[in-house]
Structure 1
């Protein structure tokens, strides 16, 4: 299912490039639904959650932009796409600059504590 998501996304974007409006519009639903499903399925793994959430937001912004181009209002709508694109970037920046380094520091501290723990003497 997760690899099928890529196929849906590529078909949607190909329809956008070729100006196949009906199929492009239809492909938004399965592309977004699978992205949301993948995000939900992997929500317990923070790295996966952050990346899949950013992808879902990216597909949303990408779809809005596609619709705007199909109906020749892209110059009015495109600036609003900056919001979800930026939100996706902020999620990943938080993950890479704050969350992941804190997790590494916690893991290193825990490893250090285990390695210096006193060894119990046999009686």
Structure 2
């Protein structure tokens, strides 16, 4: 499933790069669905879950950014100097928060569990 996920992700980004809007937009759905399934399946392992959630948020941010470019609104201001493209920072930073939580809080407090794996 992970390998198929990469194929869909690449097709989405190829659609974005070549400005093939239908391909880029259609590929969002299988890419996100598989990312959700992978995160759900790895929920028992905190390391895998946090990394897969970060990937899920990355794909979400990437997909939003692509759509904002396709719609021609990525450069328009939302509030002050913040543009629609900047709103992609919300899921990007959420993914970064997942990784920061894992590496700065969970992992240091669960070293014994990690050593027995």
Q: TM-score, normalised by structure 1?
A: 0.83
The answer as to 2:17 corresponding to 1:17 is: yes
Q: TM-score, normalised by structure 2?
A: 0.87
CA drift at 1:107: 4.6
Q: Matches of 1:72 and 1:5 in 2, distance apart?
A: 27
Q: Helix, strand or coil for the counterpart of 1:74?
A: coil
Which residue is 2:109 aligned to? 102
CA drift at 1:42: 0.8
The answer as to 2:93 corresponding to 1:86 is: yes
Spell out, residue by residue over 1:14-65, the C-alpha distance to the aligned partner (whole angstroms, 9 max, x if none). Answer: 1100000001100000000000000001111111110001110110110000
CA RMSD of aligned residues (A): 1.7
Matches for 1:1-123 after TM superposition, within 5 Å: 1-75=1-75, 76-104=83-111, 106-107=112-113
In structure 1, stretches of 5+ residues that fail to align are 112-123
When the two structures are aligned, how many residues end up with a matched partner?
109
Which has the larger helix fraction? Answer: 1
